[in-house]
Amino acid sequence: MAELGDRQLVEACELDKIYGEGEAATHALCGVSFDLCKSEFAAVVGQSGSGKSTLLNLLGLLDTPTKGTIRYHEGDASTFTTGKRAGVRNSLIGFVFQSHYLLPEFNVFENVAMPAYIGRSMSDEDIRPRVEQTLAMLGLEGLGHRNAERLSGGQKQRVAIARALINRPALVLADEPTGNLDTVNTNLVYDLFREINKQTGTAFLIVTHDRSIAERTDRVLEISDGRLVLDVRTSDIVGTLA
Amino acid sequence: MRIAWRFLTSSPVQSSLIVAGIAVGIATQIFVGSIIFSLQDSLLVTAIGSAPHITIRAIKESDPVRYTPEMRKILTTDPRIRQGTVAPVRSVPALYGNGKDSASLGLLGGNLKDLEGIYKISANTIAGHASLGSGEIMLGKDFADKFGIKAGDTIALKFQDNRTGSLTVAGIFDLGAAQFNLRNAFVGGDVPRNVLGWSGDEYTQIQLQLDQPYDSIKIANQWAQQLPGISIMEWQRQNRSLLAGLVSQAVSSYMIQGFVLIAVALGIASTLAIAAVQKTRQIGILKAMGLSDREAGLIFLWSAAILGVAGSLGGVVASFALLALFTLAPTPFTITIRPSFVAVSAAIGIVVALLSSIIPIRRTSRLDPIEVIQNG
């Protein structure tokens, strides 16, 4: 198996994901192959239940494929121990979910710093300025001491984005990140994603069912019934997405 | 640990209750244990505090045992013997008579200094003074009371072969054992020696005490091999019913403590298990962020350690308070707190708490973050 190229970030090859067994088996993904390059800004679109989130969970090493391989520069994910999977998730990948999943026991600063605490790659002295810088980048300066539960929905999602970025991941996987937000906050979050992508070179793979949002990315992958049916540059299809 | 601490402080009532539960358990253990130990010590002191733990005598009771240099060397160099408690004793029976009444009396003859080590005669003298000079005798309180004898009185005694003698009561002792006080008296070593007609190194028995009274059987067996041809008796064989009582008391105490610990363990385990369920979402998110299975388990190990340490320390403080309250009321024995027992009890509390975290640790270690992500 050839090694990933310098520009490649992750490669998915013939991914199958089957839930259940026998007659109850459901094919969530079927033969999905593609690769994602560093600094790419891409969207995954498709109907509800088409397999978008399953694909994201596989790429994020939260789940394992029934068949096929996922390769990062760290190696074939199928060979990773659970500890290594956790380590790669922590250092290489940032997650943003539809729900913010902030920890109510911790304040904003601690929520954002949590992946850094878990990774232990930085000292507390180094974490503080990193968190403050990230909060400032997301317009959350001065909110570090606030309880995460007391923020508005848009603020909570921005805290979740800050948390995903704190370890300077190479890839952010966002699963319907604006699903719970109003239009204003939705636009704000996508503008932020784009800005971060340009500033830091972090690749983004954003799952969305909103095609107008997908059109604002550079590349669109469409999943239908678990199969990758479209993989194009957005500039080639602007205005054609149904 | 930071996460464990925050999880605990985010549910202050739940955490406080579990700490209180551990504290009550450990306090009960230390309180009950200390009372039982103190009671046992008190009973032991009463029973054998002023009595020999080991008695060496001739196989035939009427024969003397020779306090040879070999025996002296063994008894003076064995570090297990309580210092200054080896007493060579000559004992003879005597009959007391005052013209109206008479009573038998066992005379224990020896040097006051030697006898002091075992019988603490000076400390237990309640009238007159402790002295075993020539022509002097010290009577027990119950004997003196029965016959109206006071310190300074002269009493007449009849010995074997109808020999008689008069001795002056130098003092009256009370060893806390009525039967001993009634039936025994102390005299100088020459009185029984003259009666028995034995030489200077011949004694009825060699009495001694040990630093660890419960080692008496083991030590007696060792000496029996080193000193053949003599009889070595130790207190445990002579006080089987007392020992059985002490053992039963100890067993019941251990059972109480054991059940208390089991109750504490079940309480901690159930509360931590509930906490693990309550924190499933948070653990799942942390795992998604890269927390390993082992680290996820450690959260609950730290939680248990924090609860165990806090509860055990609280229990130690509470037990001291309980024991202090207990001593306000008049008790027939002195309560002593054994630091080693307190330390072991606190350590047991912590270990029980740690063991109780096994179930939540296993649960959190096995938790798949995808379950939390998919279920929202």
Residue ranges in chain A assigned as alpha helix (H):
52-59, 82-92, 108-119, 124-137, 153-165, 183-200, 211-214, 234-237
DSSP labels for B163-183?
-EEEEEEEEEE--S-HHHHHH
Chain A residues touching residue B289 (CB < 8 angstroms): 89-90, 95, 114-115, 118, 163
DSSP labels for B71-127?
HHHHHHH-TTBPTT--EEEEEEEEEEE-SS-EEEEEEEES-HHHHHHHH-TTTTEEE
Q: What is the pLDDT of residue B269?
A: 77
Across the interface, whether the CB atoms of B290 and A62 are under 8 A apart is answered no
Residues A80-110 pLDDT 10s: 998 899 999 999 999 988 888 898 888 999 9
Query: Rounded to whole angstroms, how far apart are CA atoms B44 and B210?
Result: 13
Query: Rounded to whole angstroms, how far apart are CA atoms B360 and B223?
Result: 56
- The closest CB to that of B290, out of A86, A106, A110, belongs to A86
Residues B14-52 pLDDT 10s: 888 888 888 888 898 888 888 888 888 888 777 777 788
Query: Rounded to whole angstroms, how far apart are CA atoms B279 and B368?
Result: 13
Closest C-alpha among A242, A182, A204 to residue A43: A204
Beta bridge partners of B309: none
Q: Is it the case that residue A141 has pLDDT exceeding 90? A: no
Q: How confident is the model at residue A2 (pLDDT cuts 50, 70, 90)?
A: low
Q: Is it the case that residue A113 has pLDDT exceeding 70? A: yes
Q: How confident is the model at residue B257 (pLDDT cuts 50, 70, 90)?
A: confident
Q: What is the average per-residue pLDDT within A65-83?
A: 91
Which residues of A lie closer than 8 Å to B, measured between beta carbons? 53, 57, 60, 62-63, 82-83, 86-87, 89-91, 95, 97, 99, 101, 103-106, 110, 114-115, 117-119, 163
Q: What is the pLDDT of residue A241?
A: 55
Is the alpha carbon torsion for A185, A189, A192, A194 positive or negative?
Answer: negative
Q: What is the average per-residue pLDDT within B346-361?
A: 85
Across the interface, whether the CB atoms of A103 and B285 are under 8 A apart is answered yes
Is the alpha carbon torsion for A43, A15, A232, A230 positive or negative?
Answer: negative
Q: What is the pLDDT of residue B35?
A: 87
Chain A residues touching residue B282 (CB < 8 angstroms): 103, 105
Q: What is the average per-residue pLDDT within B244-250?
A: 82
Q: What is the pLDDT of residue A1?
A: 59
Please state the pTM of the whole predicted model: 0.69
- The closest CB to that of B373, out of A86, A97, A117, belongs to A97
Instruction: Quote the minimal CA–CA distance from A61 to chain B in Å.
Output: 9
Q: Taking all residues of chain B, what is their mean pLDDT, rounded to a whole number?
A: 87
Across the interface, whether the CB atoms of B370 and A57 are under 8 A apart is answered yes
Q: What is the pLDDT of residue A110?
A: 92
Q: What is the pLDDT of residue B214?
A: 87
What is the chain B residue with the closest CA to A60? B288
Chain B residues touching residue A114 (CB < 8 angstroms): 286, 289
Across the interface, whether the CB atoms of A118 and B288 are under 8 A apart is answered no
Phi first, then psi: give them for residue B280, nearest 5 degrees: -55, -45
Q: Is it the case that residue A177 has pLDDT exceeding 80? A: yes
Across the interface, whether the CB atoms of A115 and B289 are under 8 A apart is answered yes
Specify the range with the lowest mean pLDDT, choosing from A196-205, A223-232, B263-272.
B263-272
Q: What is the pLDDT of residue B275?
A: 76
Chain B residues touching residue A90 (CB < 8 angstroms): 289-291
Q: What is the pLDDT of residue B268?
A: 75
What is the SS3 assignment for B11?
coil
Q: Which of B278, B279, B373, B375 to substitute to test the interface with A, most A CBs within 10 Å?
A: B373
What is the SS3 assignment for B57?
strand
Q: Is it the case that residue B144 has pLDDT exceeding 90? A: yes
Q: How confident is the model at residue B181 (pLDDT cuts 50, 70, 90)?
A: very high
What is the interface size between A and B, counted as CB pairs within 8 Å? 59
Q: What is the share, in percent, of chain B residues with pLDDT greater than 90?
A: 27
| Better pLDDT: A242 or A69 | A69
**Distant-in-sequence, close-in-space partners of B247: CB < 8 Å, separation ≥ 6:** none
- The closest CB to that of A118, out of B6, B290, B374, belongs to B290
Closest C-alpha among B169, B171, B168 to residue B129: B171
- The closest CB to that of B290, out of A57, A89, A103, belongs to A89
Q: State how far the alpha carbon of B375 is from the alpha carbons of A99, B284, B362, B363, B372, in Å.
A: 11, 11, 21, 17, 5
Highest mean pLDDT among A205-214, B157-166, B317-326: B317-326
Any idea what the Cα angle at residue B298 is, between residues B292 and B299, rounded to 5°? Answer: 100
Q: Is it the case that residue A159 has pLDDT exceeding 90? A: yes
What is the SS3 assignment for B245?
helix
Q: What is the ipTM of this complex?
A: 0.87
Q: What is the pLDDT of residue B376?
A: 61
Instruction: Quote the minimal CA–CA distance from A65 to chain B in Å.
Output: 13
Q: What is the pLDDT of residue A223?
A: 92
Residues B213-228 pLDDT 10s: 889 999 999 888 888 8
| Better pLDDT: B122 or B279 | B122
| Better pLDDT: A238 or B207 | B207
Any idea what the Cα angle at residue A154 is, between residues A151 and A157, rounded to 5°? Answer: 90
Specify the range with the lowest mean pLDDT, choosing from A175-189, A211-225, B129-143.
A175-189
Q: Is it the case that residue A242 has pLDDT exceeding 60? A: no
Q: What is the average per-residue pLDDT within A20-35?
A: 88
From the centroid of its chain, how far is CA A33? 18
Number of C-beta neighbours around residue A233 at 10 A: 12
| Better pLDDT: B211 or B246 | B211
The torsion region of residue B197 among left (phi > 0), alpha (psi -120 to 50) and beta comes to left
Q: Is it the case that residue A239 has pLDDT exceeding 80? A: no
Q: What is the share, in percent, of chain A residues with pLDDT greater than 90?
A: 45
